[in-house]
Amino acid sequence: MKKTLLACLILSFIDFIYAVNDDLILEDKFPKKLSSFSFFQDNSAQFPSDGVLPYELISALFSDYSYKQRWVYIPKGVQASFRQDEVFDFPVGSALIKTFYYPIDERDLNLGQRLMETRLLLRKENGWEAVSYAWNDTQDEAFIKKAGKTILNEWIDFNGDTRSVRYRVPNKNQCKECHANNDAMSPIGPKARNLNKVFQYSDESINQLTKWMKLDFISTVSEELNTPVDWNEKNYLLDERARSYLDINCGHCHSSSGAANSTGLYLNLTETREKHIGIYKKPVATGRASGNLKYSIVPGKPEESILLQRMISTDPGIMMPESGRSLSHTEAIELIEKWILSL
């Protein structure tokens, strides 16, 4: 009897430790330490707490070759609801958690990794709020960095070359630069269409949307999802791959409701008007970033297309996206170059 009681006590204690701190998600102020939220049972290993579910996107934003691991948390008893072509409408108390890291050596992931930051999007009563926590050198805690932080990092890439990056943890305002949609903060990635793929969970391999339904995270999704292709998957059509890349990397700002709508350049997947996709579109307030070129995209002529030249540049007055990138994305540049040649 005593033993059972003790076991119960220990169990409930464990449960207490590993449960996400629901109240903290809703509070006005952010805690100094990431661990206060209890999203992870083990910080260094990035092992999630109960109810914190990993997910992947079909096509992801380029962030200076960093790797990303994503988790979603939805409080018990409430659900996210499906919206066509939009991110799920997550209930108050939800959290989206994304850790950025570099492997020590991309050729052998078992050699370990260096955690850079964990970004949170928290669904509070009045909407989403963003905050980032930068990992310490000992990699056992991450601390809030409202004003952002610069981290110098080196890693060995697939070719065995040592690469270096001046990695920027964004400040709170920079989060909004990308995440503002019609002036309200919003997640970008977790649209049903971006999640519509099989994922290897710890217990099973299954489509992520099916898993979310099994867990009662959501109750329904549409049959017509306009699922994008993985831009990096060469079996798909060039046009689909290019538009998919531009959608996830540019479309959150470059859409008629995004932060860059004043440019008239709309790169979201649902845009169909050639001029607004950039074809023979003159720059508006581009300044020197036009690089002496006349149009965003000149079909067949990548070297005359402003869009590609701004992807190539690492000059802050020229490059796109404006933040979150300090290196050129060589593989994507090749893709967009081929795409413009094919137009």
Partner 1 sequence: MQNLLLITLLVISSLSLSSKQVVLGPSPDSQEEIQEALIDLEPGDVLTLKSGEYFFEDGISLDVDDVIFEGSGINETILNFGSQVSGAQGLLVTSNGVTIRDFAVLDAKGDAIKVIGADGINMVRLRTEWQGGPKETNGAYGFYPVESKNVLIDGCVAIGASDAGIYVGQSQHIIVKNSIAQYNVAGIEIENSFYADVFDNIASHNTGGILIFDLPDLPQQGGHHVRVFRNKAINNDTDNFAPEGNIVGEVPRGTGIIIQANSEVEVFDNDIYGNGTVNLSIVTYGYETEDENYNPHPKSIQIHGNRFGEGGFDPDVETGELASILFALSEGDMPDIFWDGILPTSQLILGQPDNEKLVMSNNGDATFLTLNPIKYMLPFFDPVERDIAEYDGEIRPLPPVVLN
Binding footprint of partner 1 on the chain (CB under 8 A): 146-150, 166, 168, 171-174, 176-177, 180, 183, 256, 259, 261-262, 264, 275-276, 281-295, 306, 315-318, 322-323, 326
Q: How far is the CB of 86 from partner 1 (least distance, A)?
A: 20
Q: Is 239 helix (H, G, I), strand (E, B) or coil?
A: helix
For partner 1, the closer of residues 211 and 325 by Cβ is 325
Task: Look at the chain and count its residues.
Answer: 343
| Both tokens assigned to 278 | 């950039």
For partner 1, the closer of residues 131 and 341 by Cβ is 131
Q: Is 17 helix (H, G, I), strand (E, B) or coil?
A: helix
Q: How far is the CB of 173 from partner 1 (least distance, A)?
A: 4
List C-alpha distances in Å: 318 to 99, 288, 290, 326: 28, 7, 8, 12
Q: How far is the CB of 169 from partner 1 (least distance, A)?
A: 11
For partner 1, the closer of residues 34 and 144 by Cβ is 144
Q: How far is the CB of 225 from partner 1 (least distance, A)?
A: 28
Strands (DSSP E) along the chain, which ranges? 40-42, 47-48, 52-55, 67-73, 95-103, 113-124, 127-135, 142-144, 149-156, 162-169, 180-181, 184-185, 198-200, 205-207
For partner 1, the closer of residues 196 and 290 by Cβ is 290
For partner 1, the closer of residues 78 and 147 by Cβ is 147
Backbone angles phi, psi at 14, to 5 degrees: -60, -45
101 and 134 Cβ atoms separated by less than 8 Å: no
Within 10 Å of residue 265's Cβ, how many Cβ atoms?
25
Q: How far is the CB of 105 from partner 1 (least distance, A)?
A: 27
For partner 1, the closer of residues 234 and 288 by Cβ is 288
